[in-house]
Amino acid sequence: MRRWLAPMLFLLASCSGPVPAPSRAAAVELHGQRFSVELATDDASRQRGLMMRTALAPDHGMLFVFPHTGSQAFWMKNTLIPLDILYFDAERRLVSMQLDVPPCRADPCPTYPSDAPAIYVLELSAGTARRIGATAGDVLKIEGDVGPVR
């Protein structure tokens, strides 16, 4: 009677959808400040982002890497903490900022677009960009090769 249990559990687990891969980590530096970041380099990790997090350490963030440069827009659906969203071009220059973006409280959630084409987006705790003095043109230094996924 129990012989069916293991195959049934396997079937249930495989039908529940893919298990998200653990996030890769890296370090970045912006305006002389170093941050440990999780990397979001594929569609699933970019869609998940920092959703459902209840806290983000002051020296941590998430770096989104897109396959192509273009207008990038973010929303705060299921994001529980306010964020600074910083957009960088292919040369890793800061081209746009959305500061102190609040969590979305009701649908439809507003979007927060870049003012210029971007390929990298860095999310940090709200207030961080002002605290470190980040300004347009600042260069994001990224440890290792985290270039766009093609």
CATH number at residue 118: 2.60.120.1140
- What's the pTM value of the predicted model, to 2 decimals? 0.81
Confidence of residue 40 (pLDDT cuts 50, 70, 90): very high
Rounded to the nearest 5°, which phi and psi values hold at 77? -55, 125
**Using an 8 Å Cβ cutoff, are 69 and 117 in contact?**
yes
Percent of the chain, pLDDT > 70?
81
Ranges 10-14, 43-47, 68-72, 146-150: which has the least confidence: 10-14
Range of the domain at 31: 19-141
**Using an 8 Å Cβ cutoff, are 145 and 118 in contact?**
no
User: Which tokens go with 142?
Assistant: 């990224």
Say if 2 falls within a structural domain: no
